[in-house]
Amino acid sequence: MSDLVTRAQLTMLAKLLHVPVERVQHLEHLGADQLFALRDRMAGIMFDENAEMFSRIAMLVPIVPLQIAMPIVQKVTSPEMAGRSAGAVAVAHPKKAAAAMTMVDIAYGASAAAFLDPRAVAKIAHVAPHGPVVDIANELMRRKDYITGGLFVDAATPELIRAIEAGVDDDEGLIRTGAYVHSGKVVSDILRVIIDASPGRIARLITTVVGGSDDLQIAALSVFARIDADLIEIIGDTLFEQEDPDAVGALVRNLVANDAISELMQFVGHLSESALRTFGGNPVAHEHDLLEAAVTAAADHDDPNVWHGLLNIADAADTDVQRRVLELVVAGDGELPTRIAASAIDADLWPLLLRVLANQTADLQERVAASWGSSLPEQVQETVLVRARELGLEEQLRPATAAMSAAG
């Protein structure tokens, strides 16, 4: 879906293959979804290679008492081998595997976690003892091994999520781990559990992000740009209500400077009206770098949510910002005005676009409308006229509608 998620999937693929990320950089063009599928298939093949040997190990579990086996295993078996074989044990004997977790040294368990088969983890997540899982999660956070943590988030039950939220105090670690979770739905489900269990945790997370490093802020945007729209509203309202405007401006500048503008626009596209007004009044929303980057991002992506974010900023800002956005659109390549019109059709952005256009001079209105030329079907032109009447902007938009009719 996004460049940030693609980068995370590349990093995870490189770790699976035990190679530098540069070795797999050429696969970036596949995109996040295909990279996730590729990594999942390769992980399955790697774990299945030794399935027969591991199943033999699993056969010994009912024979050797755990109190005897676990200390020996941890003394003579490498964490890698233990992690790889644990998957077969978990599938064959889920309750025994859960009991074994209570006897694992935390450091050993964290080292072995990177080699667990995620498919097996999903089968025992519902019986996993919360205490050891929280302890291992904290150890992974201490080691900054966020990739390993991200591998198993999909399998977490609501009860386990609540236990981790209560037992893991590392806000930065939780955010960075979330950036390695592929599914936006999974991240949304987790945030809902956290909000229900500990509403104040969201405010803490946001304060951590705003005061954090550049790469933490980018990781957080990767998480927040993919969650459900109602959750984005909660995050946005908290951000703009509790954080200093200068700090928010610095955050936005950092995201723009690090090529995260598309994700930023996707996030802005779902902000509440009050958050948008606050954002529109922030000096950062008037800066050329932001506006130019946003228009360029919209031109480079098919996702209408990017246009939605840009138009949201323009609608909430003053007439000067609106004019500069439209000037950038008209000055772009010949297809850009047509693409904004197409996005307005696909995502019902006409009210936003028309409100912004209505505030402009007759000359700029005419140039925008004329640039659409004959690209708008007759029924769409009629829709524009109807929307103008519904918004009470028929008179203000007369230069635009006249130019559109003449061009068509």
* Domain encompassing residue 374: 324-408
Residue 398 forms part of a structural domain: yes
pLDDT tens per residue across span 145-187 = 998 888 888 888 899 999 999 999 999 999 999 999 988 999 9
Dig out the tokens for 12 from the structure: 């995870």
Look at 45 and 30; give whichever has higher pLDDT: 30
CA atoms within a 13 Å half-sphere pointing along the CA-CB vector of 93: 19
List Cα–Cα distances, 295 to 151, 324, 373, in angstroms: 35, 10, 20
Q: What is the pLDDT of residue 135?
A: 95
pLDDT tens per residue across span 277-300 = 999 999 999 999 999 999 888 877
Whether pLDDT at 54 is above 70: no
Whether pLDDT at 262 is above 80: yes
Residue 310 forms part of a structural domain: no
Look at 68 and 58; give whichever has higher pLDDT: 68
Look at 84 and 385; give whichever has higher pLDDT: 385
Residue 223 forms part of a structural domain: no
Whether pLDDT at 258 is above 80: yes
Residue 367 forms part of a structural domain: yes
Residue 396 forms part of a structural domain: yes
Whether pLDDT at 8 is above 90: no
Angle at 229 between CA 299 and CA 159, to 5 degrees: 135
Q: What is the pLDDT of residue 265?
A: 92
Whether pLDDT at 247 is above 70: yes
Most confident of 90-94, 97-101, 111-115: 111-115
Whether pLDDT at 374 is above 70: no
Look at 375 and 343; give whichever has higher pLDDT: 343
Whether pLDDT at 344 is above 70: yes
pLDDT mean over 322-335 = 82
Contact yes or no for 306/262 (Cβ under 8 A):
yes
Residue 62 forms part of a structural domain: no
Residue 390 forms part of a structural domain: yes
C-alpha radius of gyration, the chain, whole number: 26
pLDDT tens per residue across span 94-106 = 777 777 788 889 9
CA atoms within a 13 Å half-sphere pointing along the CA-CB vector of 278: 19
Q: What is the pLDDT of residue 219?
A: 95
- Res. 77 pLDDT band, cuts 50 70 90: confident
- Res. 407 pLDDT band, cuts 50 70 90: low
Residue 164 forms part of a structural domain: no
* Cα 187 to Cα 161: distance, rounded to the nearest angstrom: 11
Whether pLDDT at 318 is above 60: yes
Mean pLDDT for the chain? Answer: 85
pLDDT tens per residue across span 198-231 = 989 999 999 999 999 999 999 999 999 999 999 9
- Number of structural domains, the chain? 1
pLDDT mean over 3-15 = 86
